[in-house]
Structure 1
């Protein structure tokens, strides 16, 4: 019986015995059959653990080349099969010459370590290294597996050289001959930080890797200076996961470097000031202590200050200003460099830090002398206007503030959609990109239209061009199915099955499809059926610009093309085209539509004449805790939208989309929110208020359910057409208070676009913000970050228009926690845009007295508004 047959039976012992009887050339002859068996077991998922182990041992013995044997043993198909622990594998390997085994050992040590869990491979590798006398492999993989193995609560038995049992990591590493080689490498191997936080069975931190490494340095097992340099170099190098530096900081603290050791490495500490905040804080603390002890060159402080004072972390900036202050106090001859360094914080975005810097400069200006004034005066121009008077008193010249000018982005202009795709070859390329993930509105719509067009003009050429794409994406949905139908690969019965409106049987709808998705699905269902029965010459609803809008003249031309061919448009396609056509009051356009002479042309003429989709008033109401029209319980912490159905005799899915807004509300305990699609906002490109009302669940969930991506459609809505009413402003209020920074950024972008287009109602937005803060979904700290980001673009007047409406409601009664930061933004905006006029609630809060941030900022705002 062949070795492959024995392996198929899973008889590892028989495999090992058979290998002992074969000559090298006979073993090599077995390799093709073993490779075929490996593919068979991998493809069929039918291999038992015994089969895989027998196959592993068979391949290890039949590959006479050490490189090929290592490739076989280290193959991923044997991952987690437990074959590496079988003693017969060691027995088969040991039959080879020592030089052969050394090559296998070196190659296996280079093999990528498993991504998780204890390594099942390391005991064999360790045995091979020791038994062959090979140098300890210092590869990343071997080091990672070594750390994992030594972190085990109870070391596993090894065939050679057991280490001390028990949980004492320090004792095991002291007795381990690998330690001097591999322990220093833990600072160099990527993605090893998480492993160094263990062992997880350790009773306290003194038994974990950071403390044990420090003890090994103290014992002389590891070189202390080398370990310290490697640790600092790893902190300086950065990289890895965001929190990886923490474990190396723990190692550094465990090493507890002396002042002498730190002084020798001052330049490295200086470089660490640019690193993560925790690393920079430690470096700053050490450098400041060295400076206070006279162990630091004065130039180091001069170099450190610009690095730290430009950071956003307020704690670091405050500490740096404190260091500068102490340096000038203890050594007045350093006052000149100190005040010039402190002036670097004049441009910091936080007004309180500017004030602290100005105080440091004022305290040491006399000792610095007049020689520093020429440099301080231009630096003072960066100060907040609140500090200009004090700066003028100190520096002897009035600080000239520039006349305020609101800076808003240019209003975005819709970009035209390129002409229809010209050839089947170009269409195949575009389809491949869409199926690979390019699902933007314009590519998606052009490909859908192109499939319909070319199926009508030359289906044979289209089928030939699409064949490679369809073979590369055999299970594609949506446009992939449309492409199959366009290429003539779909029977009528199959097309009907694909177009089944039940999500359990059809291919375009799912249990979590939104009404927007269902409207898109209706278009695809209609298209696939027409492609299988009566192909259309082209689609009517393909947009002519990037918002989803259709030029009415172009739509008339498309309808005329249908009339010339005697073709009837699909009802869903026509309905979507009506929802997208740009409103016009030009009688000539209406006359052209009527002149088409078909029912569809007459429908378009009437639609344009009547102004398109009827607009329904939007009302924001307070939460009631009741139930919506669909019987679902409504939230008591959300502002809700009422808007009547806005249908106009359109197909079923369009009417469902345009149903009353509260039918679109979902339960608060919804377990998953589908990702937004650019196509949603393009369904009603001239009715963003209606779209916002029907997507309000998404916008609200970004704030009160911490859903990521809930506000990402806000910029597209801001660029769309139609009035921006209560729904848009409520959605924007939710977005400005969203949990995730990227959602708040999207909301800020939308805010600026609305302002640039003249569509922002600051009073309405401020009112909704105040209501949401009172209800709880929007937190003042998140709101502050958003409004500060908007103001920092130069839109101070815009932000003030929002805050002046929000503050009275926010400050009525007990101010919410964190409102002090928001008041600071308000004071800055009011000062820059020269706002005047008292706000009673601000005045009342300022009159309370005390040292709270809210009271101090209210007093500052009151002073600004008083002029």
Structure 2
């Protein structure tokens, strides 16, 4: 160990600095490897004291003769959290270097990214270099950020800020005229300019910058242009808010704004707060006669299409005032106001019609053709008023019901042909490919190739098995390759190892899948079979009865006994009411399994019990809420399931847990669960209802993604299926609502949707507080926007009578507004008593307005 390194280890900063000053350049460079090793040692140990870091910082600075390497040393993040930057020895070490060395170090450090967490003391070193070198102030973004943070950081004494305030510091700072204008060009600095946090409003950056401009420290015109340019550039809302504060603090007068009208018009496309300010300024200029005649129409063309209702109302008010004060402008005003006819909000359309009605006479008949054309965008509820004003019937666009094509199940490809292809497919599934077809083909492929050529299979799987994985198929692959010891295979097969029955066993569906994997592992380790019986023939999980009979006949020819779980799963995947030819072929089977299958097919397979509503009086606590707040279902146990393995029988038993307490965590439903009972979606929905309900009344995420798979499956769609869709439509997270919308549209396309049932249950869930009406309205709006207006109206027509009782929910107006749109586009007619009653109550609330509009549409 060198003497210098020994002093550094002792934390003797003064001694290390003095010794380094006496070394030759060659000796200094020779010390660098030891100093770097010491830096790594301190960084890794996290036990170094502040003086140890300071001594290291100073010694390293003195020993780096190359300025680029010195900048890297000084700019290292490991030195940021220590106070060595204040030590006089550091400045002395820097001053001993040449001016060229210091200039290069300054240039490089000024461009190094500023610390992300806030203020850094090493800026003081950069400031010292600028002053002593008498060089131009660096203007790189990182230097500007560090300067801003340094100047805003107050001095404290006893926890209270002391010393000069921000204005005094900046006014006396020679850096201010150079760097303050650069604040408007640095990305995402707005949040930093919202301080200092300890100062009152007049002592923070926006007010201080305006005061500096007023006092001549900064060029006011330049600052104003930079501020507007920054707002025009856009950015994060918090960033825009701060620069808008700067603009308001600068308080431009009418002449300054009038000279920048084009910039103000450009701001109308920006953040709503910025656009609102620009709109107010432009309206004031118009009132003062400082705008060109075409500007209000140009502004309207931008603002009236924005979603913010406040901005649109303000714009219509501006147009109204303009026509009142200057009747000669009535023509351009009414044409500009017609731009709001295409707005999604019916109330704003009505306001635009009122503005036009007030000034139509002054505008003259020349505007009528354009107004009639624009009125085609109006909501059907306003067509009568538009026809009355503009003198002709408004053409109504005819909308036919548009539903997605009925999905056709994809056939499962043939078995995986080679071990190499199988290894590739296995790698994809283990890596996260969540696909029923891929999973089932790999599971079957492992069994097939273990039977035909285990050695070739083991060689092909070796690269995949070298990567550790907790995936179920990884366990099967180990057994198929002959790499699982008999003891471990026995433990896995009996549910004692492999994690197959940990949290995955929280539902009957995962328990059923765990049983299948356990059985496959046991048979691979003891007596392999040529293939699996339950591998589906369609992507939904369905299995052709004739194919199953042929597979079981192949087992009989080879003298292979069917696995109980494999056979049970295969029987559940066969459609009830199988083809008579398959039933006849099954009657020729001779094994006990064959006779059982023949009996199963002959008697119609698994029954389809009817879901019934769970009485609230029998409900018990469920999660954070009471299940009485939910609409849950129960089912009787399926008949004819005697002799099934334990997990299969429990899966098909009565879903008794539906009204019971939910576990602290449940796995998210996956497409594999729908594939367990591909012809019994109502039964699957009943057993998944608790998880799906949680996306609405417990705000969980992801469970609704199984709904499209259930909609594409076969079997009746009863109460449980429709309740599951309603819960999905009321989910908190948009992706869950999207999945529910997809399911609703698929059910409608297949003719399986009962709109009245869905609407009634939706209303009940809204009134019980399990589904928020605004979420339901957003989801139904998304469905309607695809063209399914008639389908959505069938739901609303059943939901609205129940919702419009004595105390309609606050968001009932949104559902009524959607009803106006859907009823109008689907030509629905016939009064709804509850809608008529709400419309007759009058009032200005949205619910009353929309009820009146819907009543008018239904009246024709």
TM over 0.5: yes
> How far is 1:739 from its partner?
2.8
> How far is 1:845 from its partner?
2.5
How far apart, in 2, do the equivalents of 1:526 and 1:485 lie?
11
Show the 5 A alignment for 1:320-469. 320-454=315-449, 456-457=451-452, 466=461
Matched, 1:640 2:637: no
CA-to-partner distance for each residue in 1:651-707, whole Å, 9 max, x for gaps? 444444444334156757x76665553433333332222222222233322222233
Q: 1:77 to 1:256 in 2, by over 3 A?
A: same
Q: 1:475 to 1:75 in 2, by over 3 A?
A: farther
Q: What are structure 1's unaligned runs of at least 5 residues?
A: 157-163
The answer for the alignment partner of 1:70 in structure 2 is 71
Matched, 1:102 2:103: yes
Native 8 Å contact 2:195 2:204 kept in 1:
yes
How far apart, in 2, do the equivalents of 1:120 and 1:600 lie?
80
CA-to-partner distance for each residue in 1:842-866, whole Å, 9 max, x for gaps? 3333333333333333333333333
The answer for the alignment partner of 1:218 in structure 2 is 214
Q: 1:390 to 1:855 in 2, by over 3 A?
A: closer
Native 8 Å contact 1:61 1:93 kept in 2:
yes
**Which of 158, 176, 179 is equivalent to 1:179?**
176
> How far is 1:610 from its partner?
3.7
**Which of 791, 807, 819 is equivalent to 2:784?**
791
| 3-state SS, counterpart of residue 711 of structure 1 | helix
| 3-state SS, counterpart of residue 682 of structure 1 | helix
**Which of 826, 830, 837 is equivalent to 2:830?**
837
> How far is 1:586 from its partner?
0.1
Show the 5 A alignment for 1:130-529. 130-133=131-134, 135-154=136-155, 165-166=162-163, 168-202=165-199, 204-240=200-236, 243-454=238-449, 456-457=451-452, 466=461, 473-474=467-468, 477-480=471-474, 482-483=476-477, 490-494=484-488, 501=495, 506-511=498-503, 514-515=506-507, 516-528=509-521
Larger deviation, residues 520-529 vs 847-856:
520-529
Q: What are structure 2's unaligned runs of at least 5 residues?
A: none
The answer for the alignment partner of 1:160 in structure 2 is none
How far apart, in 1, do the equivalents of 2:592 and 2:39 lie?
66
> How far is 1:799 from its partner?
1.9
Residues matched between the structures, number: 852
> How far is 1:764 from its partner?
1.0
Native 8 Å contact 1:625 1:634 kept in 2:
no
Q: 1:22 to 1:436 in 2, by over 3 A?
A: farther
Matched, 1:746 2:730: no
How far apart, in 2, do the equivalents of 1:833 and 1:35 lie?
77
The answer for the alignment partner of 2:606 in structure 1 is 613
Native 8 Å contact 1:665 1:696 kept in 2:
no
CA-to-partner distance for each residue in 1:478-505, whole Å, 9 max, x for gaps? 4455555555555444556667746xx6
How far apart, in 2, do the equivalents of 1:578 and 1:716 lie?
20
TM-score (norm 2): 0.87
Larger deviation, residues 123-132 vs 309-318:
123-132
> How far is 1:333 from its partner?
3.3
Native 8 Å contact 1:4 1:34 kept in 2:
no
Native 8 Å contact 2:631 2:765 kept in 1:
yes
Matched, 1:721 2:714: yes
Bigger Rg, structure 1 or 2: 2
How far apart, in 2, do the equivalents of 1:568 and 1:35 lie?
70
> How far is 1:718 from its partner?
2.2
Native 8 Å contact 1:499 1:507 kept in 2:
no
Native 8 Å contact 1:41 1:47 kept in 2:
yes
How far apart, in 2, do the equivalents of 1:77 and 1:467 lie?
43
Q: 1:593 to 1:76 in 2, by over 3 A?
A: farther
The answer for the alignment partner of 1:661 in structure 2 is 655
